Amino acid sequence: MYTVKANQYSKDILSENNFFESDEFHEEYGKIHSIFKKSLNIKISSKLINIIGNVNMKLPFSIEVNDSIIEYLTYNLSVGDNVSINYKNKKVIFNNIGLELSILDGEYEYTIKNKNFNSNTVKKNLKIIGDFIENSNIQNGFSKSNKEFLERLSYNENTQIDEFYNNIIRLKNVVVFNREKEDLFSYFIGRGKGLTPSGDDLILGLISFLKISGEDNMSKELYEYLQNKGRKRTTDISLEYLMYGCKGKVGHMINDLCEAMLDNDLDIIEEKLINVSKKGHTSGIDTILGIFLGMVAIIEKNKLNKIGVN
């Protein structure tokens, strides 16, 4: 068995599976779930582990390796091949090709932490992110214009005649007034095409901003919904993103952008917006729309709280 080393890996790959710490049960078996040009996914039980090359995209369920290693793996492995992970020795074992991937070094973790919410700062940054969305030439995954999305958020719920925008307003009001959520989860989760449907990306952006602002009234119910219905609603890969997101664990680019939305550094905001916008075909802009939605909702909620409406 030939051993190669990973460059870095998410701490959550092991901590999510700490029930395997005993000597008797320290190894679990799975299969290759999916293979792409510079990454592959392993399915262990109901969880995914992503192995990726040097693409500067740290995810809460990723192991990063040198490009030469990922090229070797993607060339020699096939979907359905057996694989195992030894939690005690921190190794991913590809028995079909006689290779072990050691994940002893380079541990990282990105967990969204509450930051001080300053309404004036967020209002200023809301205009920056709004201008970015409106002026972006990147099409979102909902077949709606970015400009119209921004405009519709300023309308009242009872003026909506479009099902999508009606549900966007209702989703905002879930945050503002803590209204019923489940039917909205069913509307957005799995909506759209791709490995991570657009509705999922929007929800991920929304809950990420709610968490960093300390106003998350959604993730607990969303997590329960995903556990019960997620596999029937969306893709395995998107479900993994969302399940981690409900725990405040997101990729570093989303984490960095949410932090920037609460800071005063304009150059940093622009840089982080560009980084996220490049993610996937429409995933980046869809996630940014979710963050924008969260910002609008929290500003409105704080305003109503001040005048005693809530």
Dihedral angle over CA of 57, 58, 62, 68, nearest 10:
50
SS3 251: coil
Q: What is the pLDDT of residue 156?
A: 55
Structure tokens at 122: 């967020």
Distance CA 143, CA 199 (A): 12
Task: Report pLDDT digits (tens) over 198-232.
Answer: 999 999 999 999 999 998 989 999 999 999 999 89
* Domain boundaries, given as residue ranges, for the chain: 2-108, 119-306
**pLDDT given for residue 261 in this prediction:** 92
Task: State the pLDDT at residue 91.
Answer: 93
Burial category of 160 from C-beta neighbours within 10 Å (exposed 0-12, middle 13-18, buried 19 and up): middle
Burial classification of residue 307, based on how many CB atoms lie within 10 Å of its CB (0-12 exposed, 13-18 middle, 19 or more buried): exposed
Query: How are strands ordered across the β-sheet holding 27-35?
Result: 2-5, 99-102, 91-94, 82-86, 27-35, 39-44, 47-52, 62-64, 8-10, 107-108
Q: What tokens were used for 213? A: 């602002």
Grouping H, G, I as helix, E, B as strand and the rest as coil, residue 115 is coil
In CATH, what is the architecture of 2-108?
A: Beta Barrel (2.40)
Residue 231 neighbours by CB under 8 Å, 6+ apart: 239
d(CA 248, CA 255): 9
pTM above 0.85, yes or no: yes
Measure the CA–CA gap between 161 and 164, rounded to whole angstroms: 9
63: Cβ contacts below 8 Å, ≥ 6 apart: 6, 8, 9, 10, 13, 49, 50, 51, 52, 92, 101, 103
Confidence at residue 222, expressed as pLDDT on a 0 to 100 scale: 95
What is the pLDDT, as a whole number, of residue 308?
60
List, run by run, the mean pLDDT of 10-residue segments along the chain (310 residues). Answer: 92 63 67 94 91 85 95 96 92 94 90 84 92 92 92 66 89 86 92 92 97 92 94 94 94 92 87 92 95 94 71
Q: Which two tokens stand for residue 175?
A: 């945050």
Strand partners, 84: 29, 93
Pick the closest to residue 179 from 221, 150, 223 (CA basis): 221
pLDDT value, residue 22: 44
Sequence-ordered list of residues with C-beta below 8 angstroms from that of 240, at least 6 positions apart, any chain: 47, 48, 61
180 burial level (CB within 10 Å; 0-12, 13-18, 19+): exposed
